[in-house]
Amino acid sequence: MNMSECSISLMSQRDGDSNHTQNNQKPMSIHNEWYYHTLLMEMKLFLIPTAVCFVAATLVTPSILFAIFSNFSIRRETRFLLLGNALVSDLIYLALYTATSICNVLNLKIPKVACAFLLFFLAVTYCGGVLTAAGMVVDTYLAILWPLHYFTILPPSRTKKLLMLLWLSSSLVPGVLFITLAFTRKPGPCQPDICSLPVILLMTLHADEAVRLFHILFITAFLLSFSLILCCYLVLCYKTRRTGILKGASSRANVTFSMHHVILGFRFLPLLLLLSESLLYINRMINVETGILLTSIICNVLIVLPNGVSPYLYAFRYREVYKSLSNHMAAFSMLVFIGSALM
């Protein structure tokens, strides 16, 4: 079923079948408007910020990863392993989401099985980024408060095992969600043939009570996790200020803490807005068009924004990575100069 037919079904579920059958002209005008908002605004307009974030991350992420993993001393440090893992998960998420958005803009039909796998890997990489952010919080906490025991608690071998556990945990939560949707979903008249994350997120709110409850609990659990991360940073900030580490508004440690708070805020705000939008939609305080528009803004702008910005905020903040990048760029420039001289 295409999107215009699906919109009629959604309107019928919210407004009642009797109103739909009594006045056919009104639903037709409504579904045309919704079809316009969905295709033109989400697929074309909202492709711009997604593509910009993907290009921005692609320009620097491979160089940063090369600088990390080509240097033996850097890749043995826990903070750089976590940074590399965060950059990889963010880049994969941006690549998959940009690919699905381009397919939707070009009206390329993605098979349902392929769409399900794409959505699953999107969820896995997003959860991986969230859990890596939590790991960076723990790493910073241990390094500042217990510096003498830091390398004993988190040696490189243990860090690699924790990263494997992190990816397994990232796969577990989306796996449970997809299995729940697969066994509880009932066949209905609205089966859109478009693989769009905003549309599918809104479609889950039309499922039965168990699926809707799981949807809300899933978002709430992430919000609680982010709140816990933020509380850890606040406690860490309070304790380090007492020791004088964060002395001065322009100190390096203070700027680093501010950077962490900005990234956490970028990742916290979209989920908070998505939870608010879901509750408003379930309680019929906003209509389908508004729900699609808000979900598209959250998915195509607010969620992808930290993925595109974090490489610049995180990686170039570390002196070791910046120095390694500078050395590689100098060596590359020398090779280019020698090659041009020989030619």
For residue 86, the domain's CATH number is: 1.20.1070.10
3-state secondary structure the chain: CCHHHHHHHHHHHHHCHHHHHHCCHHHHHHHHHHHHHHHHHHHHHCHHHHHHHHHHHHHHHHHHHHHHHCCHHHHCCHHHHHHHHHHHHHHHHHHHHHHHHHHHHCCCCCCHHHHHHHHHHHHHHHHHHHHHHHHHHHHHHHHHHCCCCHHHHCCHHHHHHHHHHHHHHHHHHHHHHHHHHHHHCCCCCCCCCCCCHHHHHHHHCCCCHHHHHHHHHHHHHHHHHHHHHHHHHHHHHHHHHHHCCCCCCCCHHHHHHHHHHHHHHHHHHHHHHHHHHHHHHHCCCCCHHHHHHHHHHHHHHHCHHHHHHHHHHHHHHCHHHHHHHHHHHHHHHHHHHHHHHHC
User: How many domains does the chain divide into?
Assistant: 1
Q: Which residues touch 209 (CB under 8 Å, ≥6 apart)? A: none
HSE, side-chain direction, 13 A CA sphere, residue 251: 11
Per-residue confidence (pLDDT) for residue 57, from 0 to 100: 93
Per-residue confidence (pLDDT) for residue 328, from 0 to 100: 65
Query: Are the C-beta atoms of residues 225 and 35 closer than 8 Å to each other?
Result: no
How confident is the model over 242-259, as a mean pLDDT?
62
**Residue 201 belongs to a domain:** yes
Per-residue confidence (pLDDT) for residue 40, from 0 to 100: 58
pLDDT surpassing 70 at residue 332: no
Per-residue confidence (pLDDT) for residue 26, from 0 to 100: 45
pLDDT surpassing 70 at residue 277: yes
Per-residue confidence (pLDDT) for residue 42, from 0 to 100: 65
**Residue 341 belongs to a domain:** no
Q: Mean pLDDT highest for which of 72-81, 261-270, 323-332?
A: 72-81
**Residue 181 belongs to a domain:** yes
Which residues form the domain of 321?
A: 3-18+26-327
How confident is the model over 198-203, as a mean pLDDT?
80
Mean pLDDT over all residues of the chain? 76
Interatomic CA distance for residues 148 and 142, integer angstroms: 10
Per-residue confidence (pLDDT) for residue 94, from 0 to 100: 95
Query: Binning pLDDT at 50, 70 and 90, where does residue 304 land?
Result: very high
pLDDT surpassing 70 at residue 71: yes
Lowest pLDDT segment from 22-26, 38-42, 103-107, 267-271 = 22-26
**Residue 315 belongs to a domain:** yes
Query: Binning pLDDT at 50, 70 and 90, where does residue 209 land?
Result: low
Query: Binning pLDDT at 50, 70 and 90, where does residue 145 land?
Result: confident
Per-residue confidence (pLDDT) for residue 96, from 0 to 100: 95
Query: Are the C-beta atoms of residues 75 and 320 closer than 8 Å to each other?
Result: no
Per-residue confidence (pLDDT) for residue 330, from 0 to 100: 72
**Residue 191 belongs to a domain:** yes
**Residue 335 belongs to a domain:** no
How confident is the model over 188-204, as a mean pLDDT?
72
pLDDT surpassing 80 at residue 300: yes
pLDDT surpassing 70 at residue 336: no
**Residue 252 belongs to a domain:** yes
Q: Tell whether the torsion through CA atoms of 5, 213, 299 and 279 is positive or negative.
A: positive
Query: Binning pLDDT at 50, 70 and 90, where does residue 8 land?
Result: very low
How confident is the model over 63-79, as a mean pLDDT?
85
Share of the chain above pLDDT 70, in %: 71
Interatomic CA distance for residues 42 and 102, integer angstroms: 11
Per-residue confidence (pLDDT) for residue 95, from 0 to 100: 95
